[in-house]
Amino acid sequence: MKPLPLACAAALFCTTQLAMANVQYTFYANGVTENYSQQGSALFNFSNDGSSLSITLTDTVSPTAAILSEITGLDFTMSAAPASISLVSVTGGSVIDCTNSASPCPPGTGSSPYGWGILGTGNGASLGAGFDGGSFSYQPYGIVNTNYLSAVAGGQLDAPSTNPLLVGPITFTFALTGMPYAPEVSSVVFKFGDPVGVTAVPEPKSLALFAVALLAAGFVARRRQNRS
């Protein structure tokens, strides 16, 4: 399947009033491939000291009615490279099984992390479904909207190979080591379906807000150094 050009936008919100406040970034994807909408949001939430990260993925295609509309992965780059990044848990939403079923689909089975995993190389990371320890098949447990339709001609949400499915929002929690502070996030790519990639580009105002976050991080680092 040949993907059509897709458009994305990103927004950033940094909470820096308190020394231990988290740093948050929100990225959005909006596009169409082969007449199927591909829309979603990714909320990044770093602890101020860079030791933990949560990413909440929401499929905003309503109703989600096709494999090409479900979120199956996310690539991103951080401004600093962690010594390690590991997936701790996958929570939220519900599990459904639409195999040969009309909507609403009955409950599905599975437990965290639902076959999802992450690979980190330098300051880049790839998160995806169908993880075998070294690569991603991106199925099953793709993320759909709370409003979904399984029995739509050609959509294939009811195909056995794609089920079970996760109904978002879904939150992925990670542990990071070797990070001095919450990093900047860039080069965000949403994966849809098998997959089709959507690249997100930060808006200028987002970069300005991040500068404030860097100043806050530097202030915290100096205070810790002075105390030591």
Distance CA 58, CA 211 (A): 27
Distance CA 212, CA 71 (A): 31
Q: Give pLDDT tens digits for 84-109.
A: 999 999 999 999 999 988 788 999 99
Mean pLDDT of 170-179: 97
Highest mean pLDDT among 7-21, 74-88, 185-199, 210-224: 74-88
Residue 137 contacts by C-beta under 8 Å, 6 or more apart in sequence?
129, 130
Q: Which helix (H) or strand (E) holds 226?
A: helix 204-227
Of 65, 6, 25, 64, the C-alpha closest to 197 is 6
Q: Answer whether 211's CB lies under 8 Å from 126's CB.
A: no
Mean pLDDT of 52-57: 98
**Which runs of consecutive H residues, i.e. helices, occur in 37-107?**
none
Q: Which helix (H) or strand (E) holds 31?
A: strand 23-33
Is a pLDDT exceeding 60 seen at residue 228? no
Q: Which residue has the tokens 């690979």?
A: 119
And the tokens for 192?
């849809």
Whole-number pLDDT of residue 179 = 92
Residue 53 contacts by C-beta under 8 Å, 6 or more apart in sequence?
44, 45, 46, 47, 85, 173, 174, 176
Q: Give pLDDT tens digits for 106-146.
A: 999 999 999 999 999 999 999 999 999 999 999 999 999 99
pTM of the model: 0.81
Residue 193 contacts by C-beta under 8 Å, 6 or more apart in sequence?
33, 66, 67, 68, 69, 70, 72, 138, 142
Mean pLDDT of 5-10: 45
